[in-house]
Structure 1
Amino acid sequence: MNEKVAAVGRGISLAYEEVGDGEPLVLVGGLGQQLHSWPDAFCEQFAERGYRVVRFDNRDIGRSTHEDFRPAKLWSMLVGRFPERQYDLADMAEDTIGLFDAIGFDSAHVVGVSMGGMIAQTVAARHPDRVRTLTSIMSNTGTRRAGRPALSTLRLMAAAPPKARDAAMDRAVRMFRHIGSHGFPFDEDWVRAQAGRGWDRDSSSAGTGRQLGSILKSGDRTPSLRSVKAPTLVIHGDRDRMVHPTGGAATVRAITGARLETIPGMGHDLPKGAWPRLVDLIDTHARTPRSTDARDTTAS
């Protein structure tokens, strides 16, 4: 996959990569996660099934445009005080649509994870004609009543950002041992390699704070999600300490006809052991876009 950069409007450029040829499949990353948070081999499995897969850095991360204002402190965000230039999830959704336009996609299957799920939901709500199917993974609706992080997770998130590559890798291991999929093997070497790769591409930390501001500024998006028309699949693990599984349930309630798949043992990551199930779920959903069976299925 060769990295490219596209101007997507409003002074924003996004770094992206693509692999495969066929049905457009756009992968939207989570908070502070660069494009390689969608693992190479994971993307290649979709390419092998006939998709043109695009993964990208959201604004303020990786090699995409970084804003230059100081992010608000967490306590300020929680009481609704944000810098004048603070963007929201709708702005990030427009970035995604701008990438569609730059690449030449009239529409695409859109898959988002965590904050990326929130962005994907917003794209589907604001641009129903551009989304063939929507898959929202380990995400929520923004309501304060569902999908909240565990207190132990918040304590880890509050730690000072790392100032060196080795420290960034150590922090990633601590975090993913906590929020990761306890029902699947933990690959420390892979986590370290991913974190090192991320540091080499972008060692800044302020962008993650601004992205968090976009989530909190957007508030409860439940009313807007009523307008989503795309066939929607919601995937959540039952061991998620970052976005409690109630976030997935709330998303299903908010989007008419959405279907929930719960994967036992999965936390807030994409463990290799879950890839076969995840790829099958997303592929089947994309190939049967009129299936709107709104039941909760526990994956085996």
Structure 2
Amino acid sequence: MKVTANGLQIEVDDTGGEGRPVILLIMGLGMQLVAWPDGFVQQLVDAGFRVVRHDNRDIGLSQGFDHAGVGNLVWETLRHRIGLKVRSAYTLQDMALDSLGVLDALGIAKAHIVGASMGGMIAQRIAATAPQRTASLVSIMSSSGARGLPGPRREVGAMLMRRPRSHDEAALVAHSIRLLRLIQSPAYPQTDEQLATRLTFGMRRAYHPAGLMRQMLAIGADDDRPQVLARIARPTLVLHGDADALVPIACGQDTARRIPGATFVAIPGMGHDLPPEVCTILANHIAPFAHAADAAANVKETP
């Protein structure tokens, strides 16, 4: 369903459940709400939560920003490397306000904010700037964005710069599978058929590469977040795979180090994806953490 959030039309999926604590799931770069596997959502529902997912702006079925142009990624990357400000059509803080707008539209006062990759960065922004709306923060396979942290492995970086052989569906799916093979969880590999089914479904739902480019620039422009993280005063859990070839584990460790009182958990054999086994591991960390945060908040509020 569509809701108006922060002045934009944002696509939302809501499991419902009045009276249940809410988990807001925020997905990463260029990824749609359906990238949160249904099985993962169901595990959280079974654990007693109302789960809300949404397409970030400029991706999926949410409002796009094609009027803003794409920008020059190569030039802006060079600017970033020499310490100049990256220019972007919008910021991660704008995207954080979109997420808060989703909660407003659904009449939700407070939620556990869970984000993966870029979604983790947006979740960090929410926790830092809207603590009254944040029951807890869970940052998954994400980063503080601090300069000097390691980047993707060389082969992953090279693959990210390659273009698909053509723009027909089969070529796009094959190209994406080659990238996913490089960043997948080595302990929990998926078959080409499984990956192709998921990728095809996503592409047929919506395909908007220009939005991905603008989101990438928004990440590059988010240069003050390392300092902002020190302001987070909500219960925080940082989850990161020890085999992440796209966002190395040092990025998650740095995130936890910068957030006062944060708990860091390394997931053995996890890369930068969400296969079923990893989803179960994550849910088994997130659900008790969120319930504990709610219990502690209730004790604090009791006179």
TM-score (structure 1 length as normaliser): 0.91
Equivalent of 1:7 in 4, 9, 32: 4
Shift of 1:82: 5.1
Equivalent of 2:12 in 4, 16, 24: 16
Shift of 1:285: 0.7
Q: Does 1:65 align with 2:69?
A: no
SS in 1 for 2:293: coil
Q: How does 1:28-47 map to 2 (within 5 A)?
A: 28-47=26-45
Please say if residues 39 and 276 of structure 2, whose CA atoms lie closer than 8 Å, have aligned partners that are also in contact: no
Amino acid at match of 2:184: G
Q: How does 1:107-256 map to 2 (within 5 A)?
A: 107-160=110-163, 163-256=167-260
SS in 1 for 2:44: helix
Cα deviation per residue 1:253-299 (whole Å; 9 max; x = unaligned)?
A: 1100001110111000112122222111000110112899xxxxxxx
Tell me how far apart the structure 2 counterparts of residues 129 and 147 of structure 1 sit (CA, whole Å). 33
**Who is 1:279 aligned against?**
283
SS in 2 for 1:236: strand
Amino acid at match of 1:5: K
Tell me how far apart the structure 1 counterparts of residues 274 and 212 of structure 2 sit (CA, whole Å). 20
Task: Calculate the aligned-residue CA RMSD, in Å.
Answer: 1.7
Please say if residues 125 and 228 of structure 1, whose CA atoms lie closer than 8 Å, have aligned partners that are also in contact: yes
Amino acid at match of 2:61: R
Amino acid at match of 2:98: D
Amino acid at match of 1:123: I
Shift of 1:187: 3.0
Cα deviation per residue 1:177-203 (whole Å; 9 max; x = unaligned)?
A: 100101113232221111111111222
Tell me how far apart the structure 1 counterparts of residues 3 and 267 of structure 2 sit (CA, whole Å). 35
Normalized per residue, which structure has more helix? 2
SS in 1 for 2:24: strand
**Who is 2:75 aligned against?**
76
Amino acid at match of 1:75: V
Cα deviation per residue 1:5-38 (whole Å; 9 max; x = unaligned)?
A: 111123x111011225221111000001001100
Amino acid at match of 1:26: L
Amino acid at match of 1:38: W
Amino acid at match of 1:258: A
Shift of 1:172: 2.0
Please say if residues 139 and 147 of structure 1, whose CA atoms lie closer than 8 Å, have aligned partners that are also in contact: no
Q: Does 1:267 align with 2:271?
A: yes
Deviates more, 1:205-214 or 1:186-195: 186-195
Amino acid at match of 1:110: I
Please say if residues 226 and 255 of structure 1, whose CA atoms lie closer than 8 Å, have aligned partners that are also in contact: yes
Tell me how far apart the structure 2 counterparts of residues 174 and 198 of structure 1 sit (CA, whole Å). 16
Amino acid at match of 2:114: V
Tell me how far apart the structure 2 counterparts of residues 240 and 290 of structure 1 sit (CA, whole Å). 30
Q: Does 1:50 align with 2:53?
A: no
Tell me how far apart the structure 2 counterparts of residues 270 and 39 of structure 1 sit (CA, whole Å). 8
Please say if residues 43 and 280 of structure 2, whose CA atoms lie closer than 8 Å, have aligned partners that are also in contact: no
Please say if residues 76 and 82 of structure 1, whose CA atoms lie closer than 8 Å, have aligned partners that are also in contact: no
Shift of 1:111: 0.5
Q: How many residues in Structure 1 have an aligned counterpart in Structure 2? A: 287
Tell me how far apart the structure 2 counterparts of residues 114 and 65 of structure 1 sit (CA, whole Å). 21
Equivalent of 2:104 in 91, 98, 101: 101
**Who is 2:300 aligned against?**
none
Please say if residues 144 and 220 of structure 1, whose CA atoms lie closer than 8 Å, have aligned partners that are also in contact: no
Name the CA shift for 1:36/1:147 in 2 (closer, same or farther; >3 Å): farther
Amino acid at match of 1:215: I
Tell me how far apart the structure 2 counterparts of residues 29 and 231 of structure 1 sit (CA, whole Å). 20
